[in-house]
Structures are given as structure tokens and as C-alpha cells.
Amino acid sequence: MPAQYPLHPHMVLLSNLTQFSPMLYLTGFPGLETIEHWIFIFFFLMYLVAISGNCFILIIIKTSPRLHTAMYYLLSFLAFTDLGLSVSTLPTTVGIFWFKSHGIYFGACQIQMFCIHSFSFMESSVLLVMSFDRFVAICYPLRYSVIITGQRVVRAGLVVILRGPIATVPIVFLLKTFPYCGSRVLSHSFCLHQEVIHLACTDTTFNNLYGLILVMSTVVLDLVLIALSYGVILHTVARLASKEERLRAFQTCTSHLCAVLVFFVPMVGLSLIHRFGKHAPLAVHLFMANVYLFVPPMLNPIIYSIKTKEIRQAISKFLGLRKANVES
């Protein structure tokens, strides 16, 4: 369990008096309470970029017939999961940093952790399907339109949407059956299963094993398959005749590769901190958790807007039409 920090007097009193209360208490940045409004402004800007950027990507793909292809349908799935991940943490972040409200009912905490973990698993799945799309596009370009069809993309999307929530339901539901005692203060501004489970005063072996198996069979497996697909892609690109062909082929993967790194590097870092960094400073836990949840949804629309030529052209056309309509 992450290192505890000195509790506010009112939190100590409440946690002692409400031993059997369904309330938990979330944390901002201990020691920085006097500047939490300024911290909220920083988070607000991140939310603004993430939510508006991903909504804009969805609108661009929806309104641009040229982008009605498998690759951009998958990008719209990615934008949707990023949007869901941002919205999942928004209520408690606003409550803590703007309204100084640290309490959260256990049921609301369950809903939040269900959303956070479900959208995280969904994003991992989307990135895996996108890596397969790039694998087919580069290794089997003549068969791409036959292998990657609209029907198959829809089926993959349904699997992506359903896999995370279905797999997350058991461990989140079982938390309600455990007794909790002692301090009920969490060390983040949002609810995570791996932290709430440590507050239970009973044997949680099933949840721990199920959680480990779930992560291994989803996120870790997805990461391994993505790495294997890029290994084959790099091998294929290296065999191309000219340098220009190699550069052109690899450029089609740069946006996706950046999205993979932006998502998986903070996730792996957070997992390592929770597993092996129990004595690490609380600031390290807070930093890694916030980077993991806030940075990917903010950066992904920026990455695809900058790195993808078709998205840039669609944005320019969209903004041009808007300007023309305003002038007329």
C-alpha cells in the first residue's frame, strides 16, 4: 500500500467515527492545499484539451467521407475511450481541487473505478486492433481491403467495448462484500481497485489473483502482441528496396506507435510503483497515477492531428467551411 501521509484533523475524526460508514476519502496533493485552486487550473486545461480534442476528432471523422475507412473508425474508437477516461476522473478532481470535497460514497467509488479500469482495458484493446491494422497495411498491402473490412472492424469494436467492462465487473462487485476498517483515505484523487482492495479487513486473495490474471490476459497480452506486430513490421520495412519506401511505410505507423508509448509507459510505471514501490514517496505515486490517466487522452488527439496527413487536411477543410459559413 502506498505510503500514508498526515491526515487532516477532520479526516482523522471522520475515519474514526465512521468505522462502518460507506464513505472513503480521496486525496489532492498533501502539503499543497493552499495552491489547490492553481493546481485545478492546470488540470482544467488538461481536461479542456483532452475532451475538446477527442470530441473534435470524432466530429472530423463523422463529417469527412474520406475518413470513413477502417483505420479512422479505429481512431474514433480510441478517441471515444480517451473521452470516457477523461470524464471518469472529472467529478472527483473538480470536487477535490475546487470545492475541497474529499469524501466519496463507496458506491460512487465503485462506479468510478469500474469506468476507469473498463476504459483503460478498452484503450489497450483498441491499440492492439490498430497495430493489427498497421501490420496488415504494411505486410500485406494488396490484401488489406479484403482482410480489413468494415464488418470486421465493427465486430472488433464490439469486442473492444465489451471485453473491458465484462472482465472488470466481478472484482468491482466483490468489493462491496468486504468489511473495511481503520483509515479510509485513498492516496489519489480518484478510485483505483489496487488501492481500495488494500483497505479491506479480510482475505482478498481471490480479488488479487483475479486482478493479476485480468491484467496479464488483457494489458500484458495486448502489449506483447503489439510488440510482436511491430517486430514483423520493422522486419518487413527493412526489406524494402529504397530508403524513401522504408520511410514512407514507417511514417504510417508513427502516430500509432506514439499512442502506444504514451499509454503503456505510464501504465507500466504505475503498476511497478504499486507492486514494488510501497516505500516510495507519496509524490511519486500521485505523479505516476495522474500521468497515466490524464496525459494519454490529452496527447492522442494532438499526436494524430500533427502526424496524420488526412486528419490535418480534414481539419483544414472543416475549419475552412466553418469560416466560409460565418462570412456568408
Residue 247's domain comprises 23-311
Ranges 18-22, 30-34, 290-294, most confident: 290-294
Q: Residue 320's pLDDT band (boundaries 50, 70, 90)?
A: confident
More confident residue, 120 or 250: 120
Q: What is the pTM for the complete model shown?
A: 0.85
Q: Which residues on neighbouring strands pair with residue 212, listed in sequence order?
A: none
Q: Residue 226's pLDDT band (boundaries 50, 70, 90)?
A: very high
Any domain includes 61: yes
Distance in angstroms (rounded) separating the CA atoms of residues 187 and 183: 11
Q: Identify the CA nearest to 290 among candidates 78, 99, 96, 79.
A: 96
Q: Residue 314's pLDDT band (boundaries 50, 70, 90)?
A: confident
The whole-number average pLDDT for the span 46-66 is: 91
Any domain includes 246: yes
Any domain includes 327: no
Any domain includes 78: yes
Q: How far is CA 311 from the centre of its chain?
A: 22
pLDDT at 29 over 60: yes
Cell numbers that stand for 252 in this block: 504510417
Residue linked to cell 483503460: 120
Distance in angstroms (rounded) separating the CA atoms of residues 132 and 10: 52
Distance in angstroms (rounded) separating the CA atoms of residues 87 and 83: 6
Any domain includes 27: yes
Any domain includes 201: yes
Q: Which amino acid is present at 216?
A: M
More confident residue, 208 or 275: 208
Average pLDDT score over the chain: 83
Any domain includes 263: yes
Which CATH number fits the domain that encloses residue 222? Answer: 1.20.1070.10
Give the model confidence (pLDDT) of 209-219 as tens digits. 998 899 888 88
Say if residue 271 is exposed, middle or buried (CB neighbours under 10 Å; 0-12, 13-18, 19+).
Answer: middle
Say if residue 17 is exposed, middle or buried (CB neighbours under 10 Å; 0-12, 13-18, 19+).
Answer: exposed
Question: In the prediction, which pLDDT does 4 show?
Answer: 44
Distance in angstroms (rounded) separating the CA atoms of residues 64 and 314: 7
Domains contained in the chain, number: 1
pLDDT at 236 over 80: yes
Q: Identify the CA nearest to 28 among candidates 84, 83, 94.
A: 94
Any domain includes 177: yes
In contact, 188 and 27? CB cutoff 8 Å: yes
Distance in angstroms (rounded) separating the CA atoms of residues 289 and 131: 25
